Structure 1
Amino acid sequence: MNVVSTHQLSKSYNETVALRDLDLEVHAGEVYGLLGPNGAGKTTTLRLLIDVIRPTGGSITLFGEPMSPGLRGRIGYLPGDLVLYDRLTGADYLRFCGALRDHADLGEATRLAKRLDLDLDRRAGELSKGNRQKLGIVQAFGHRPDLVILDEPASGLDPLAQREFHSYLREYVDSGGTVLFSSHVLSEVEQVADRVGILLAGCLVVQDTVASLKANALRELTFTFGEEVAAASFSGVPGVREAMQTSGTEVRCRVTGAVGELVRAAARFPLVNVTSHEPDLEDIFLHYTEEHGDDD
């Protein structure tokens, strides 16, 4: 089941196209990471999903239905530009949010605040950036929503808080929840996301599991030989995108997919050593950025 589905979702501001024909699917019980550079359309997408702004074209369904007042209570949201009432304590702020949602039980919010080492008795105006972010996270999850949408959730969190937050995310999803979050911190997405979508200049250029993206990503193999071998010897091997001569006895190949044919081709020469650079999510992201270009 898709918790979030969009069809040709578009948003323009006068002559500026912020989002173009977005077909996004977020499955029930997964963490979906939306990647992209600043200005790619991530925040616009999230705001469209929660009905803060309206699309220029296309459609959105949540839990198989169009957005309605009844669905809003099933969604938690953390904006990227979180604004708090500085005079309210954390506990007062959570009670205020609970009243808006008709959800008076602060049990889950209190438990999460304790896990994140957040003092709910302090006024929001006294909190550091990291603790303000923690309070925003707590309010997003505090009413036990079915779907949580987070815009750059780890911004300002220290490493210990990030680790605890990521652990909580996995527990939340394992208990039946669904998370869609945006980020440009690639290591965070790689650590917690089940599937990833990459937005560039308002277009979704790929969405897939992290494992599948890695399996099909461009990787580098460097071969060292006991004698001079020309890079051209590998240019026709299946999967080889580029073969570069780094020295007379060393050739570096960029390859996609299985590398068996390339290794067999290299074994025809006096092979001394082979090293492989396995791609991470940053490599994949940069590859798509280079391939599709970036207008921002």
Structure 2
Amino acid sequence: MTPAIELTRLRKQYGRRTAVDSLDLRIEPGSVFGLIGPNGAGKTTTLRMILDIIRPTAGAIRVLGEDPRRGGPALRRRIGFIPGELRLDGRMTGRRLLDFYSEVSSPVTSGTIDRLADRLDLDLSRPVHALSKGNKQKLGIVQAFMHEPPLLVLDEPTSGLDPLVQREFLRLVTDARDRGQTVLLSSHVLSEIQQTADVVAVLSQGKIVAEGDVASLRLGAIRRVRVGLAATNATVIREQLGALPHISELDVRSETDIVRVSATVDGDIDPLVKWLAQCRVIDLAVEEPDLEESVLRLYGEPSRPETGERDA
């Protein structure tokens, strides 16, 4: 089966700086592919080359079986795109803007725009310039999804959205995959990747340093734990917790009749849970670090952003 996207030894240089370095990538049709990494890793540069917004220094790109440099408008109509920095303005209403986009994209089935707007709680009667950042982002989502393209390329698509709308967006992604569409999703939000992506590639310093499913990459294995214990001997607790595996950044402090503990768990949390079961726990919070921190912990420091690129 022809891959939806295939990159072969793709490279992009800005002068002496290398933003993307010999990138090989294959995305199968009908899948959700997560592209993640810290700022400056090369994610946005890669997406822009896939869409022929910028040209690579070297290497080959195939999108839906075609070279994007030669595919022209016919290929672009088969792609839905949300840029990382969406800029929408003007006095026309959201509906008129989407009607305009529908004339230059592939045909849009009657009622699809209203259905998507309802799902995202988007008022199409308001002028675009009067919309909040979140509502402009909703407009961007509708224009990308409305013609049900074979390929969706989404760069930080939930920026500015409230949690309920983020959840509905993830359902849109899942629905698209169920219809056989391919989704390339670049995100800093770990939960988005965990809930939607079939395969994930971790980009660092312009190179793929890991690829696989979320579980195999251990992206959810790092957690911050804060707990209050009905105890007074902080020294003993510090010694016991320090002897447990996977514990780091341990901080133990005594308060009146309570010991406050904070720690980072990098790996199996079960030993800590079993230790806590022996104590009287007053309060407990377990949090994931953000995606960028997870990637940095697992795969090292990012490169510096390239000149002229938001996320080279």
Identical counterparts, % of pairs: 45
Change (3 A) 1:207 1:121: same
Q: Residue 295 in 1 paired to residue 303 in 2?
A: yes
**CA distance in 1: counterparts of 2:166 and 2:189, whole angstroms:** 12
Q: Residue 155 in 1 paired to residue 159 in 2?
A: yes
Stretch deviating more after TM superposition (148-157 or 20-29): 20-29
Q: Residue 202 of structure 2: SS of its match in structure 1? A: strand
Q: 1:78 aligns with which of 82, 88, 91?
A: 82
CA distances 1:116-172 after superposition (whole Å, capped 9, x unpaired): 011111111111110000000000011110110011000000011111111111111
Structure-1-length-normalised TM-score: 0.77
**Cα pair 2:155 2:185 within 8 Å, conserved:** yes
Q: Residue 243 of structure 2: SS of its match in structure 1? A: strand
Q: CA deviation at 1:202?
A: 1.4
What are the equivalent positions in structure 2 for 1:146-295 lying under 5 Å apart? Answer: 146-214=150-218, 247=239, 251-254=243-246, 286=294, 289=297, 291-295=299-303
**CA distance in 1: counterparts of 2:163 and 2:198, whole angstroms:** 21
**CA distance in 2: counterparts of 1:42 and 1:107, whole angstroms:** 34
Q: CA deviation at 1:177?
A: 0.8
Which amino acid in structure 1 is aligned with residue 57 of structure 2?
A: T
**CA distance in 2: counterparts of 1:217 and 1:104, whole angstroms:** 42
**CA distance in 1: counterparts of 2:78 and 2:90, whole angstroms:** 27
Structure-2-length-normalised TM-score: 0.73
Stretch deviating more after TM superposition (88-97 or 205-214): 205-214
Correspondence for 1:13: 14
**Cα pair 1:11 1:57 within 8 Å, conserved:** yes
Q: CA deviation at 1:248?
A: 6.7
Q: CA deviation at 1:43?
A: 0.9
Between the two proteins, the alignment pairs up a number of residues equal to 260
Correspondence for 1:44: 45
**CA distance in 1: counterparts of 2:106 and 2:155, whole angstroms:** 24
Change (3 A) 1:289 1:295: farther
**Cα pair 2:78 2:106 within 8 Å, conserved:** no
Give the aligned CA root-mean-square deviation in angstroms: 3.3
What are the equivalent positions in structure 2 for 1:6-155 lying under 5 Å apart? Answer: 6-67=7-68, 68-69=71-72, 70-101=74-105, 103=107, 105-155=109-159
**CA distance in 2: counterparts of 1:4 and 1:162, whole angstroms:** 26
